[in-house]
Amino acid sequence: MTIGFNKPYFTGKETSYILEAVRREKISGNGYFTQLCHDFFEKRYGFKKVLLTNSCTDALEMAAILIDVQPDDEVIIPAYTFVSTANAFVLRGAKIIFADSYPHHPNLNADSLEPYITPRTKAIVVVHYAGIACDMDKISELAQKYNLFVVEDAAQAINGFYKGKPLGSFGHLGCFSFHETKNIISGEGGMLVINDERFMKRAEIIWEKGTNRAAFFRGEIDKYGWVDIGSSFLPSELIAAFLYAQLEKLDQIQEKRQWIWQYYYQNLEILAQKNLCKLPYIPEFSTNNAHIFYLLCQNLEQRTALIEYLKKQHIQAVFHYLNLQKSPFYTTYQPQMKTKELTNADYFADSLVRLPMYYELTETELDYIIQHIKTFFTTSFTSN
Ligand SMILES: *Cc1c(COP(=O)(O)O)cnc(C)c1O
């Protein structure tokens, strides 16, 4: 039997809520369960307005439409992220300007951004990697100084906080994911958080294929029609029903994940103290939502050996992003771009490895994984 990297957790209520949606005879979007999910997020995190989407990718695409990205506008994005963070803006014709991570953390290095800003810069997109907050004070200050939009890719950041304020509430827009690899899931799924009043009406229109259907169903207007561009960004009630079952158990899920994360950290700390590998760094200003537990190896060769070794022990550990600036798509999309080396993004692309992380991991399995990681670092590959 293999200990997989991820295993979706079902709270037990998902299928009965889906049946309930069917029983209500309304399974398209923006119905009973969608409203329950919206209310949950608005109450719990104080988000002014949220809209469920089919994915975080959808939410990012909506964000790109809402901030009105025009061809050749520039958008600053970390190179160490998932493709959707950039793709959403590429679809609007934007130029993507990749920026680097911190040396000690995969998040966008807020101190390195100013030189990237030009008169064409439209937005900064931050990614809260592993649910750990970016330095939002510094980023907001910069955005204000140059009049830029801030979009948060908070795909991994549910229930994460920066200085006590929830992630997703800092940017003009925030984007979450409920993909089955995230903490709270609905298979595919996501959410757009709208923090800037200016976007609230239009967001709803873009969400429903460019029509003012949502306002019509609230009785605010007497007929609905085509008023803007848009797409089908809203999920069906079946997805919302599934998600709601997860949201009811959010605290329980988070507590368990946090316990697992701490168990890894406390038991592997000795390796970091002996300088055999590095453990995640969490800045003072950020909480830890236990989305990912990762180790940093010395280099690509060592990481490949570790993944291979663990695989032989039936443990699935996985690397994460590649530096998007070096991707086959980007190098043909913006071939004329003079790019800087992004050495920290390269470092995380080469050295970061994620350990199994899911609700149902047992203490016995954790002990087994930890024991093999210790064996690897203390016998097969010593530092010097
Ligand atoms: C998972 C993820 C996405 C994509 O989310 P989907 O819901 O699968 O579209 C985007 N950005 C980051 C940082 C992610 O981790």
Where does the chain have alpha helices with state H?
14-23, 32-45, 56-66, 83-90, 136-146, 200-207, 213-217, 237-247, 250-273, 300-312, 328-333, 343-351, 363-375
Q: Which of 247, 270, 296 is the last residue of a domain?
A: 247
126 three-state secondary structure: strand
Q: 107: which residues sit within 8 A by CB, 6+ positions away?
A: 78, 101, 126, 127, 128, 129, 132, 133, 134, 135
Atom of ligand 1 nearest to the CA of 178: 7
Within this chain, do residues 168 and 221 fall inside the same structural domain, yes or no?
yes
Residue 381 alpha carbon to ligand 1 centre in Å: 34
Within this chain, do residues 232 and 257 fall inside the same structural domain, yes or no?
no
Q: Rounded to an integer, what distance in angstroms lies between the CA atom of residue 20 and that of residue 102?
A: 47
Within this chain, do residues 255 and 294 fall inside the same structural domain, yes or no?
yes
Within this chain, do residues 195 and 276 fall inside the same structural domain, yes or no?
no
Within this chain, do residues 172 and 297 fall inside the same structural domain, yes or no?
no
Residue whose CB lies within 8 A of the most ligand 1 atoms, among 6, 53, 84, 183, for a mutation test: 84
Residue holding tokens 């207007």? 221
Q: What is the pLDDT of residue 382?
A: 47
Domain residues for the domain of 284 are 250-380
161 domain residue, yes or no: yes
Residue 364 alpha carbon to ligand 1 centre in Å: 31
Q: Rounded to an integer, what distance in angstroms lies between the CA atom of residue 104 and that of residue 355?
A: 19
4 domain residue, yes or no: no
Within this chain, do residues 235 and 266 fall inside the same structural domain, yes or no?
no
Mean pLDDT per 10-residue section of the chain, whose length is 384 residues: 96 98 97 98 98 98 98 97 98 97 98 97 98 98 98 98 98 98 98 98 97 92 94 98 98 98 98 97 98 98 98 98 96 84 97 98 98 92 46
Residue 83 alpha carbon to ligand 1 centre in Å: 8
Q: Is the dihedral of CA 157, 163, 164, 165 positive or negative?
A: negative
Atom of ligand 1 nearest to the CA of 55: 7
Within this chain, do residues 186 and 68 fall inside the same structural domain, yes or no?
yes
Within this chain, do residues 39 and 138 fall inside the same structural domain, yes or no?
yes
Residue nearest to atom 2 of ligand 1 (CA): 155
Residue 125 alpha carbon to ligand 1 centre in Å: 13
Within this chain, do residues 53 and 122 fall inside the same structural domain, yes or no?
yes
Residue nearest to atom 14 of ligand 1 (CA): 155
Within this chain, do residues 284 and 265 fall inside the same structural domain, yes or no?
yes
278 domain residue, yes or no: yes
Within this chain, do residues 114 and 153 fall inside the same structural domain, yes or no?
yes
Q: Rounded to an integer, what distance in angstroms lies between the CA atom of residue 95 and that of residue 70?
A: 9
Within this chain, do residues 188 and 300 fall inside the same structural domain, yes or no?
no
Short-list 88, 82, 95, CA closest to 63: 88
Look up the CATH number of the domain holding residue 318. 3.90.1150.10
What's the structural domain count of the chain?
2
What is each CA distance from 58 to 132, 192, 230, 269, 366, in whole angstroms?
A: 22, 8, 11, 38, 35
Is residue 191 within 8 A of residue 52, CB to CB? The reply is yes
Residue whose CB lies within 8 A of the most ligand 1 atoms, among 153, 173, 291, for a mutation test: 153
What is each CA distance from 350 to 127, 141, 300, 344, in whole angstroms?
A: 19, 32, 5, 10
Residue 57 alpha carbon to ligand 1 centre in Å: 6
74 domain residue, yes or no: yes
9 domain residue, yes or no: no
Q: Which of 232, 247, 262 is the last residue of a domain?
A: 247
Number of C-beta neighbours around residue 378 at 10 A = 13
Q: What is the pLDDT of residue 271?
A: 97
Provide residues with CB under 6 Å of ligand 1: 55-57, 81-82, 84-85, 127, 153, 155-156, 177, 179, 190
Q: What is the pLDDT of residue 379?
A: 87
Residue 371 alpha carbon to ligand 1 centre in Å: 31
Look up the CATH number of the domain holding residue 130. 3.40.640.10
Q: What is the pLDDT of residue 49?
A: 98
Residue nearest to atom 1 of ligand 1 (CA): 155
Residue 295 alpha carbon to ligand 1 centre in Å: 21
Q: Which of 247, 265, 297 is the last residue of a domain?
A: 247
